[in-house]
């Protein structure tokens, strides 16, 4: 029996609509020229008014407190206050970039292409996902910082006493629960594994729970719940809709994390109002 | 039937004719002044810089609210950063002994040095913001959909390259801001499971930020990453044309 090679449909450029076209010169070149001029002028004026920062010469013995990464990495720096450093700083951004790169292979439908918010519920989904992510991220930061337990106690006199103290923040699950002795060193394998000079011998289960499991559960679970709920109420109908919700959630969450890391983290990464920000330039010889 | 009688050419016509219809001018600009549709298309098609564009474009795409020119402006920032960066390179030596002093010299003794440094820095920030906004524009207009899947992937790579370009440049002034930001940043990379410590060592050329890190970041900043970015940009722009220009509704 002959097996036919079935040609799969390959996406091709659209047919041109020649009667809808205008000339690039002057219509497009003019727009480009104006926007380039506007930017040149803006950057020029900005540079004439505000000087680029230059602090004292680099000194490995003087540690400013807090030391901050460039602003576009402060979202990651904020994230790594709340979980394992490797998870926050490397795995989360790497996995996200990988996921984002395969968006078009997940959502292959041409629906809503080429126009702003092309699907029926796109604007609703974007706005609601944005609000949920904004509020949710703030709540999570405040909870993990212990503020929420503090407010509940201070404003309503609510206190779980010592028995509920493990709910104060994520890491309290490790420190405030009576973990049995063996749970802190569960062997991974029957032999001691070492990879690139790094030991992988024992699993500290409570530490793994608060540094990896709980954060991952939140980062994967909450967006999933958001998309599920939006699907159940009938807003999310296609893959495009689901991506709109997730992408908006990501952008807003990263935005909140960047702003918190930039304007709300003071000395020793303490969470304060922007007008209370302090920076100590460091004392020689002191870490 | 009225017959048009040719008028005598004025002095202005004669000067115009001498300036633009001579052998040398024609050897540089093959097409005439772009005041007819034919010349307007030719000027775009035959000019090496303008031929990035098609000669004609769908009318919805020239509306500023469709793209806000974000991709083009990101590229424009890249060009501006190249120009100001080359000017700064004349005065900057990436050694621990000289780097900070050179920046001070650029700010105080070099003509327009402070202006060049300021423009380089603000354009770098602008590029990071613009490239992110461009990504948002492409996402919210659904412009990553077939047949533009792969160009979105190239775009994600360019986003990473933009971050890396900015990050490597951050160390070069060799002041406290630079030193500790890179220390924090590379510590984040060093926290990766298994590969982290090796990656950090490879990035810094040592266990902490020092002279080897400075020369590595400098080399990556002024040649390695810009070259890579230029290659991916070439692919990115080429693919826009090959995939049928900007996305529009079916």
Higher local confidence (pLDDT), A174 or A6:
A174
The pLDDT of residue A286: 52
* Window from A82-91, B69-78, B79-88, B130-139 with minimum mean pLDDT: A82-91
The pLDDT of residue A112: 83
Mean predicted confidence (pLDDT) in A48-73: 92
Element (H, E) at A21: strand A21-23
| Beta-carbon separation of A103 and B193 below 8 A | no
The pLDDT of residue A12: 67
| Beta-carbon separation of B243 and A16 below 8 A | no
B79/A contact by beta carbon, under 8 A: no
Q: Å from A164 to nearest chain B CA?
A: 32
Distance of CA B49 to the CA centre of its chain: 14
| Nearest alpha-carbon partner for B111 in B93, B85, B88 | B88
The pLDDT of residue A280: 76
Give the chain B residue whose CA is nearest to the CA of A23: B56
Q: What is the pTM of this model?
A: 0.92
The pLDDT of residue B244: 87
**For residue A271, is it left (φ>0), alpha (ψ between -120 and 50) or beta?**
beta
Q: What confidence tier does A151 reach under pLDDT thresholds 50, 70, 90?
A: confident
Chain A CB contacts of B62 under 8 Å are: 22, 27-28, 31
pLDDT single digits (tens) B100-134: 999 999 999 999 999 999 999 999 999 999 999 99
| Beta-carbon separation of A69 and B188 below 8 A | yes
Higher local confidence (pLDDT), B2 or B71:
B71
Mean predicted confidence (pLDDT) in A274-283: 79
Please count the CA atoms within 13 angstroms of the CA of B151 that sit on its side-chain side. 26
Tell me the C-alpha distance between A260 and A75, whole Å: 8
Q: Å from B128 to nearest chain A CA?
A: 8
Question: What does pLDDT average to over chain B?
Answer: 93
Could you tell me the two tokens for B111? 């003509």
**pLDDT reading at A13 higher than 80:** no
Mean predicted confidence (pLDDT) in A92-110: 94
- Burial class from Cβ neighbours inside 10 Å (0-12, 13-18, 19+) for residue B166 reads buried
* A199 backbone dihedrals φ, ψ, rounded to 5°: -75, 140
Chain B CB contacts of A117 under 8 Å are: 140
Q: Å from A253 to nearest chain B CA?
A: 14
**pLDDT reading at B1 higher than 80:** no
**pLDDT reading at B159 higher than 80:** yes
Mean predicted confidence (pLDDT) in A198-203: 80
The pLDDT of residue A9: 57
Tell me the C-alpha distance between A80 and B131, whole Å: 25
CB proximity list for B139: less than 8 A, separation 6 or greater = A103, A243, A247
Is B90 strand, coil or helix? Answer: coil
The pLDDT of residue A92: 95
The pLDDT of residue A211: 93
The pLDDT of residue A199: 77
| Beta-carbon separation of B188 and A21 below 8 A | no
The pLDDT of residue B171: 96
| Beta-carbon separation of A70 and B185 below 8 A | yes
Do A74 and A68 contact (CB within 8 A), yes or no? yes
Chain A CB contacts of B160 under 8 Å are: 97
B97/A contact by beta carbon, under 8 A: no
The pLDDT of residue A39: 96
**pLDDT reading at A219 higher than 50:** yes
Q: What confidence tier does A49 reach under pLDDT thresholds 50, 70, 90?
A: very high
Do A252 and A133 contact (CB within 8 A), yes or no? yes
Mean predicted confidence (pLDDT) in B134-138: 97
In A164-243, which ranges are E strands? 186-187, 193-195, 198-200, 202-203
| Beta-carbon separation of A89 and B41 below 8 A | no
Mean predicted confidence (pLDDT) in B195-218: 93
Tell me the C-alpha distance between A255 and A137, whole Å: 10
pLDDT single digits (tens) A110-125: 888 899 998 899 999 9
Do A26 and B40 contact (CB within 8 A), yes or no? yes
| Beta-carbon separation of B174 and A35 below 8 A | no
Mean predicted confidence (pLDDT) in B27-32: 86
Q: What percent of chain B has pLDDT over 70?
A: 99
Q: For strand A198-200 and strand A193-195, is the pairing parallel, antiparallel, or unpaired?
A: antiparallel
Do B84 and B116 contact (CB within 8 A), yes or no? yes
**pLDDT reading at B152 higher than 60:** yes
Of B117, B185, B192, the CB nearest to A73: B185
Q: Domains in chain B, please, with CATH?
A: 67-242 (1.20.810.10)
| Beta-carbon separation of B250 and A35 below 8 A | no
Q: Å from B103 to nearest chain A CA?
A: 9
**pLDDT reading at B160 higher than 50:** yes
**pLDDT reading at A287 higher than 70:** no
Q: What percent of chain A has pLDDT over 90?
A: 58
The pLDDT of residue B81: 98
Q: Å from A119 to nearest chain B CA?
A: 10
* B180 backbone dihedrals φ, ψ, rounded to 5°: -80, -30
The pLDDT of residue A132: 97
**pLDDT reading at A137 higher than 90:** yes
The pLDDT of residue A285: 53
How many helices and strands (H and E) does chain B possess?
12, 1
The pLDDT of residue A107: 93
Do B191 and A90 contact (CB within 8 A), yes or no? yes
Give the chain A residue whose CA is nearest to the CA of B183: A69
């Amino acid at each position: 029996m002959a097996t036919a090679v079935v040609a799969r449909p390959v996406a091709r450029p659209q047919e041109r609509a020649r009667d809808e076209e205008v000339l690039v010169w002057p219509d497009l070149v003019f727009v480009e020229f104006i926007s380039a001029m506007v930017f040149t002028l803006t950057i020029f004026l900005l540079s004439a008014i505000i000087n680029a920062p230059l602090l004292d010469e680099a000194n490995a013995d003087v540690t400013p407190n807090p030391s901050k990464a460039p602003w576009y990495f402060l979202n990651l720096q904020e994230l790594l206050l709340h979980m394992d450093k490797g998870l926050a700083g490397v795995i989360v951004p790497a996995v996200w970039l990988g996921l984002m790169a395969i968006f078009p292979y997940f959502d292959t439908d041409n629906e809503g292409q080429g126009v702003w918010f092309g699907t029926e519920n796109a604007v609703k989904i974007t706005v609601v996902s944005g609000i949920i992510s904004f509020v949710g991220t703030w709540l999570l930061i405040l909870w993990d910082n212990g503020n929420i337990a503090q407010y509940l106690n201070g404003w309503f006199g609510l206190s779980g006493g010592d028995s509920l103290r493990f709910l104060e923040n994520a890491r309290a699950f490790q420190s405030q629960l009576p973990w049995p002795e063996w749970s802190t060193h569960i062997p991974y394998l029957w032999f001691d594994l070492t990879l690139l000079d790094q030991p992988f011998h024992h699993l500290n289960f409570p530490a793994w729970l608060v540094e990896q499991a709980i954060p991952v559960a939140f980062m994967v679970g909450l967006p999933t719940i958001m998309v599920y709920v939006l699907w159940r109420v009938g807003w999310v109908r296609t893959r495009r809709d689901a991506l709109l919700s997730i992408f908006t959630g990501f952008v807003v969450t990263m935005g909140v994390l960047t702003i918190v890391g930039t304007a709300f983290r003071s000395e020793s990464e303490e969470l304060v109002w922007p007008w209370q920000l302090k920076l100590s330039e460091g004392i020689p010889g002191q870490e | 039937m009225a017959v048009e009688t040719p008028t005598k050419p004025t002095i202005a016509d004669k000067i115009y004719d001498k300036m633009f219809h001579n052998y040398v001018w024609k050897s540089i600009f093959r097409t005439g002044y772009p005041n007819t549709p034919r010349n307007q298309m030719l000027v775009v098609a035959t000019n090496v810089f303008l031929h990035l564009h098609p000669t004609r474009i769908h009318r919805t795409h020239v509306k500023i609210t469709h793209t806000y020119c974000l991709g083009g402006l990101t590229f424009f920032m890249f060009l501006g950063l190249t120009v100001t960066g080359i000017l700064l390179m004349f005065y900057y030596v990436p050694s621990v002994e000289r780097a900070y002093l050179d920046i001070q010299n650029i700010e105080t003794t070099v003509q327009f040095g402070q202006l060049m440094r300021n423009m380089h820095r603000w354009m770098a920030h602008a590029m990071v913001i613009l490239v992110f906004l461009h990504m948002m524009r492409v996402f919210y207009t659904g412009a990553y959909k077939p047949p533009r899947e792969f160009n979105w992937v190239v775009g994600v790579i360019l986003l990473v390259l933009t971050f890396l370009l900015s990050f490597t440049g951050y160390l070069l002034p060799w002041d406290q801001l630079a030193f500790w930001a890179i220390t924090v940043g590379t510590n984040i990379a060093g926290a990766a499971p298994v590969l982290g410590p090796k990656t950090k060592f490879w990035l810094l050329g040592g266990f902490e930020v020092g002279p080897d890190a400075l020369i590595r970041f400098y080399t990556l900043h002024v040649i390695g990453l810009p070259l890579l970015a230029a290659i991916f940009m070439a692919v990115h722009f080429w693919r826009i044309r090959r995939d049928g220009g900007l996305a529009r509704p079916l």
